[in-house]
């Protein structure tokens, strides 16, 4: 009898331990032996599959590719637990090892490299050099407005025509980023590939500064400023900022600022063309706050909550960085679940997009702070102020002078972020629109 009781007790204890272990495991789809969930995934629609699993398994779930585990987080509360509260803030801040980061960036940029002794210094340096506050913000405003004036003049020339706006939007974005980073504009119709080609020849160009750059030293751009840091030594007397850090940061800014802004502006144009009622409300606010005599200014953002909310709503809807991967440096727990060492994590916001009560909230509404559109913690985007300022100036300047309309020969489909072209940064599929002038200002 004693032996039987002992066996029963052992079985109960074992069952309790097994139940407790399983209860702490993160839910998710069951994969096949050896390959995991590979057969369930399609790289072209991976963000859609993650959304489907989100609906099925909740705010936090996991899947596997071969022996590699991936945890997907869809809750802003869980994200804050992971990225703002220590010790998880440090544990979750690493990046998984990637071929692209290792051989293209040499693990020396900000976006793809993991933390090292100089990573925090490099991020603070980028914040400083972006000059997104005080006098730097005013200079930024002047640069953007010069490019916006050229864009409005170009739109006036094709007024009433059904056109794909991608080319002119790409020119505007590349011109703005070129001015920020290089100090001047290098030409039209270059596109992203053209920008990368400019970077290849930038060393010779900047080392032989011409009159156009020397006459405006305050607008020489981030590159010139960052290059001076190459000569600085740290407290140990060693050079801490290397050539690979410089180029990694420059290429990251070009790529990130260009692709994310392109996706956002193209999405806004599609939405505006399909929603003339929303467009009219935005124009009414712009007319009341700014009028038609002067150009919009960054300071107007505080008085234009609907315009600001539209920008944030677009960013929330498109969630255009579907696979912002992080790597867990050591085993930890999150939201009561155990997470193993070297697990990769991804942050998704498609669930939040489906909550009607969160739509069209003013920018100051507490709900807005839960969206984390530019990330949170150590990996938050250093260009947030620059991005929001540029998007506000673009939208308010455009709608101050033009209506955005559907093409004459067909109706646009409803804007659906799930139909965006996949990639590191999601992009809307090509479409055509028309611009109609509201007031003669240009």
Extract the annotated binding site for heme.
Answer: 381
Which tokens belong to 284? 């009414």
Report yes or no: 320 and 420 within 8 Å, Cβ to Cβ: yes
Where does residue 94 rank: exposed (0-12), middle (13-18), buried (19+ CB within 10 A)? buried
Q: What are phi and psi of 293, to 5 degrees?
A: -95, -40
Q: What are phi and psi of 433, to 5 degrees?
A: -140, 175
Q: What are phi and psi of 408, to 5 degrees?
A: -70, -35
Residue carrying structure tokens 């929303």: 278
Nearest Cα neighbor of 130 from 177, 93, 76 is 177
User: Which of helix, strand or coil describes residue 416?
Assistant: coil
Radius of gyration of the chain (CA): 25
What is the β-pairing status of strands 68-73 and 344-347? Answer: parallel
CA gap 86, 173 in Å, rounded: 38
Nearest Cα neighbor of 372 from 88, 61, 79, 81 is 79
Report yes or no: 83 and 89 within 8 Å, Cβ to Cβ: yes
User: Which of helix, strand or coil describes residue 79?
Assistant: helix
Nearest Cα neighbor of 311 from 369, 251, 389, 405 is 389
Q: Find residue 437's DSSP bridge partners.
A: 402
Distance of CA 223 to CAs 12, 23, 126, 127, 318, Å? 66, 52, 11, 14, 31
Where does residue 358 rank: exposed (0-12), middle (13-18), buried (19+ CB within 10 A)? middle
CA gap 177, 210 in Å, rounded: 20
CA gap 336, 207 in Å, rounded: 55
What are the binding residues?
A: 381
């Amino acid at each position: 009898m004693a032996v039987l009781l002992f066996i029963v007790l052992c079985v109960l204890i074992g069952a309790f331990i097994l139940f407790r272990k399983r209860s702490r495991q993160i839910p998710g789809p069951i994969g096949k032996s050896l390959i995991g969930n590979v057969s369930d995934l399609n790289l072209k629609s991976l963000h859609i599959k993650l959304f489907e699993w989100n609906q099925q398994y909740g705010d936090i779930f996991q899947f596997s590719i071969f022996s590699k585990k991936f945890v997907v987080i869809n809750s802003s509360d869980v994200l804050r637990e992971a990225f703002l509260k220590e010790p998880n803030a440090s544990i979750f801040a690493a990046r998984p090892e990637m071929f692209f980061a290792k051989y293209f960036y040499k693990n020396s940029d900000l976006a793809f490299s993991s933390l090292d002794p100089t990573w925090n210094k490099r991020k603070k340096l980028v914040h400083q050099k972006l000059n997104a506050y005080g006098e730097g913000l005013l200079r930024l405003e002047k640069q953007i407005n010069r490019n916006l004036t050229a864009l409005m003049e170009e739109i006036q020339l094709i007024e009433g025509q059904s056109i794909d706006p991608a080319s002119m939007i790409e020119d505007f974005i590349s011109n703005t980023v070129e001015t920020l980073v290089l100090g001047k504009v290098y030409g039209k119709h270059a596109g992203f590939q053209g920008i990368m080609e400019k970077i290849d020849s930038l060393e010779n160009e900047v080392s032989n500064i011409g009159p156009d750059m020397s006459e405006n030293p305050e607008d020489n751009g981030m590159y010139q400023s960052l290059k001076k840091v190459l000569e600085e030594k740290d407290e140990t007397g060693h050079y801490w900022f290397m050539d690979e850090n410089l180029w990694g940061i420059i290429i990251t800014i070009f790529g990130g600022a260009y692709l994310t802004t392109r996706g956002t502006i193209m999405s806004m144009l599609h939405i505006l063309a399909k929603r003339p009622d929303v467009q009219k409300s935005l124009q009414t606010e712009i007319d009341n706050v700014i009028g038609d005599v002067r150009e919009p200014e960054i300071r107007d953002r505080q008085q234009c909550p609907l315009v600001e909310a539209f920008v944030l709503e677009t960013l929330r809807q498109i969630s255009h960085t579907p696979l912002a991967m992080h790597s867990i440096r050591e085993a930890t727990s999150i939201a009561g679940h155990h997470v193993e060492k070297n697990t990769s994590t991804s942050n998704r916001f498609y669930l939040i997009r489906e909550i009607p009560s969160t739509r069209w909230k003013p920018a100051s509404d507490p709900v807005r702070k839960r969206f984390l559109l530019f990330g949170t913690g150590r990996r938050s985007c250093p260009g947030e102020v620059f991005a929001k300022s540029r998007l506000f100036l673009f939208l308010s300047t455009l709608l101050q002078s033009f209506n955005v309309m559907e093409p004459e020969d067909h109706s646009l489909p409803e804007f659906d972020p799930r139909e965006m072209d996949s990639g590191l940064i999601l992009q809307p599929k090509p479409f055509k629109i028309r611009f109609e002038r509201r007031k003669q200002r240009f």
